[in-house]
A and B are shown apart, each in its own frame.
Chain A
Amino acid sequence: NAGVTQTPKFQVLKTGQSMTLQCAQDMNHNSMYWYRQDPGMGLRLIYYSASEGTTDKGEVPNGYNVSRLNKREFSLRLESAAPSQTSVYFCASSALLRTDYSNQPQHFGDGTRLSIL
């Protein structure tokens, strides 16, 4: 049972390059999230998708785009990478209970470590 799978695990980019981080979950969850984690900053929400077909901005969306490809997959795209986007990126998913999904546990992948030179 894989849970949440993120690819790639590591990536080095040059400033200005673009890339897409992939995330897939096999738990039939409705809601999916992208976070970044920086030292001393905790997890910060970039974008989320409460259910298939919807996406919303989180706390730090600038410089990112997302696509909820289907119920299983939620990708994060950096169109023009900047050194400030060097971070560890986590994808998570949770069940959706009525309209409040924040009371559900989130299940995380093991992250993508991204360095931008």
Chain B
Amino acid sequence: SQKIEQNSEALNIQEGKTATLTCNYTNYSPAYLQWYRQDPGRGPVFLLLIRENEKEKRKERLKVTFDTTLKQSLFHITASQPADSATYLCALNQGGKLIFGQGTELSVKP
């Protein structure tokens, strides 16, 4: 079955810098990959979806890439702000269901 790996170590960056989070998967390439944001005590909130035939997708300061050769998705937040501090989850489809990674905690310091 599919296994998803996100960096379990928290990512600490300075305000204004670009944050880059990684999502690696182990088996077949999924047709879709999604990214979510989760704040403490809250449920995940959908951010972006990227399809396997899309190399890159952007939404405001967010950018997601999808490399099916490397079996990897990168999630970028440009001009990061303290309000971007949260845990970010990637998820991919398997057999019609979503499989989630464990998430990477991002902390943006002013």
Interface positions of A (Cβ within 8 A of B): 4, 35, 40-45, 48, 50, 58, 90, 92, 99-103, 105-111
Contact = CB atoms under 8 A, between A and B. Distances in A.
Interface of B: 4, 8, 31-32, 34, 41-46, 49, 51, 89, 91, 93-94, 96-103
Contacts of A44: 100
Given A42-B102, A45-B97, A48-B97, A103 B49 contact: yes
A42 B43 contact: no
Contacts of A101: 96
Q: Interface on chain A toward B: helix, strand, loop, or mixed SS?
A: loop
Contact of B43 (A90, A103, A105): A90
A78 B46 CA distance: 28
Given A106-B46, A107-B46, A110-B43, A42 B32 contact: no
A102 B98 contact: yes
A108 B97 CA distance: 15
Given A103-B93, A111-B43, A40 B100 contact: no
A106 B100 CA distance: 12
A94 to B, nearest CB: 9
Contacts of B34: 105-106
B80 to A, nearest CB: 23
Given A103-B49, A109-B43, A42 B96 contact: no
Nearest to B42: A110
Contact of B41 (A42, A43, A45, A110): A110
Nearest to A111: B43
A41 B102 contact: yes
Given A40-B102, A110-B41, A105 B97 contact: no
Contacts of B42: 110-111
30 contacts: A41-B102, A42-B89, A42-B100, A42-B102, A42-B103, A43-B44, A43-B89, A44-B100, A45-B97, A45-B98, A90-B44, A100-B93, A101-B96, A102-B31, A102-B32, A102-B96, A103-B49, A103-B93, A105-B46, A105-B49, A106-B34, A106-B44, A106-B46, A108-B43, A108-B45, A109-B43, A110-B43, A111-B41, A111-B42, A111-B43
